[in-house]
Chains A and B, each alone.
Chain A
Amino acid sequence: MFLINCPYCGERDQQEFKAGGEAHIERPKQPTELSDDEWAEYLFMRKNIKGVQFERWNHAHGCRKWFNMVRDTSNDEIKAIYKMGEKPPAQ
């Protein structure tokens, strides 16, 4: 349990938010041309990093907006939060 600084609402309890998994997974531009391996990679394979990870979160019980977060999964420390469409901070 930790606090999350929503870029739209400010600091709120983590239980107001829904984790949306790994960030910056690009949707295939031409889905019809994807091989089965590429589909598997896109749909299922995850980095699942122990350490600093880029992920998406949704303020589900608040403004309901999506945003990105850089978080250390080994101690739940939040490194940075940035809006959708913004460039991820260099790590």
Chain B
Amino acid sequence: MKNKYSVFSLIKNALSYHENWQRAWKDPAPKKEYDAVIVGGGGHGLATAYYLAKKHNMNNIAVVEKGWIGGGNTGRNTTIIRSNYLWDASAGLYDHALKIWEGLSQELNYNVMFSQRGVMNLAHNLQDVRDLKRRTHANRLNGIDAVYLSTEEVKKFCPIINTSPDIRYPVLGGTLQRRAGTARHDAVAWGYARGADSMGVDIIQNCEVKGIKRNGDSVEGIETTKGFIKTKKVGVVAAGHSSVIANMAGLRLPLESKPLQALVSEPVKPIIDTVVMSNAVHAYVSQSDKGELVIGAGTDDYVSYTQKGSHQIVEGTLNAILELYPIFSRMRMLRQWGGIVDICPDASPILSKTSIKGLYFNCGWGTGGFKATPGSGDLFAHTIANDEPHKLNAAFNLNRFVSGDLVDEHGAAAVAH
């Protein structure tokens, strides 16, 4: 059993110069066989393992990760959490996650630094205004807090925004979800890893999946760089590399993997105490607790697995940021990076069984998966344990691309792709 983190454990360990902290998770060698194996040790994969152990009593399970946990998109995103999606299915999915976020630090006994500082989405043209108003109404009908703000109210909520009518894309209004905000991305992976580990889950790092063994239409196990692991259930949570894993099982997915970039500035004193997203001009900005501006840029339009992305994408985002926030004109950017995001044609995720028995996919989160981490893990665990989707993820099945019952969130959900 893990020692509980508390003010007392902090004092106790301070007295021994912090040299005796317990390991947060073990470093086991893989066993020969597990009841289920999760492929991918990011936030979603670790959360899946955590809820499989906690809610479905599946303790003989493993998470295999080709690098280190949380080293992929979990450690590369801009940590925005919100649930103001247009369609009912998406609202249900993302608000389920947001409700778990609200109690997550207590549940995990790990501070994920969830901060409900609000997320504001800006409108820059008349169509934006109509779309955002419509989404606000849809959100409220689904029990999700949302308000529409006038230009003056936007200025009042975030005074550093340039609301002059003379700029190229003037701010005509915006929406605000006050329950939305940010969290510490690494802590989410570490907290779930520690929680899953304490319930007996093996977290196996530096273990790349090389093949999926099938017997007819059923899964028999996975080939990895640490040998063959026998299992009847494989849950793939591999983000940008989902198609690569699917290919090993002879499946095709409706995904394209593209680089998505983000960047942070040098740290400065608190200047922006909320998250502001502007889809029309593509500028997302918030401020981390360290003081850096955290800026989300866009995706490139070509398939690439390079984790780099093109310079002009960053340039376009910074142009927009400078017009909206002239105060940032002399800020210097500290770091820039890319992550590989798997984008579905309808910009909604896939949390689904497949045509192969025992093989499940959780993918297609595209540019906005971080916010869903707890809900995604919970619902995917339900799907794997019961071999049936939960009602909240039933709409996000793989078959929707055959039936035509898409959850089209392109543009509609304040997502920018």
Contacts and interface: CB of A to CB of B under 8 A. Distances in A.
A46 to B, nearest CB: 6
B14 interface: no
Contact of A21 (B256, B257, B402): B256
A90 interface: no
Nearest to A74: B305
Contacts of B302: 19, 55
Nearest to A18: B301
Given A15-B312, A37-B402, A50 B305 contact: yes
Contacts of A15: 310, 312
- Of the listed residues B244, B306, B402, the one surrounded by the most CB atoms of chain A closer than 10 A to its CB is B402
B143 interface: no
- Of the listed residues A19, A39, A55, the one surrounded by the most CB atoms of chain B closer than 10 A to its CB is A19
The A interface is mostly helix, strand or loop, or mixed, namely mixed
A74 to B, nearest CB: 5
Interface residues of B, number: 27
A72 B391 CA distance: 40
A36 B402 contact: yes
B23 interface: no
A45 B312 contact: no
Interface in B302-337: 302-306, 308, 310-312
A60 to B, nearest CB: 10
B243 to A, nearest CB: 4
Interface stretch (B156-164, B209-217, B247-255): B247-255
Given A18-B301, A37-B402, A50-B244, A45 B252 contact: yes
Contact of B241 (A14, A18, A44, A50): A50
B254 A46 contact: yes
Interface string A1-30: 100000000000011001101000000000
Contacts of B402: 36-37, 39-40
A40 to B, nearest CB: 4
Interface in A58-91: 73-76
Given A1-B310, A46-B243, A53-B303, 7 more contacts: A18-B301, A19-B302, A40-B254, A41-B252, A50-B305, A74-B305, A76-B308
28 contacts: A1-B312, A14-B310, A15-B312, A19-B302, A19-B303, A21-B256, A37-B402, A40-B254, A40-B401, A44-B254, A45-B252, A45-B253, A46-B243, A47-B247, A48-B253, A48-B303, A49-B247, A49-B303, A50-B241, A50-B244, A50-B305, A73-B303, A73-B304, A73-B306, A74-B305, A75-B306, A76-B304, A76-B306
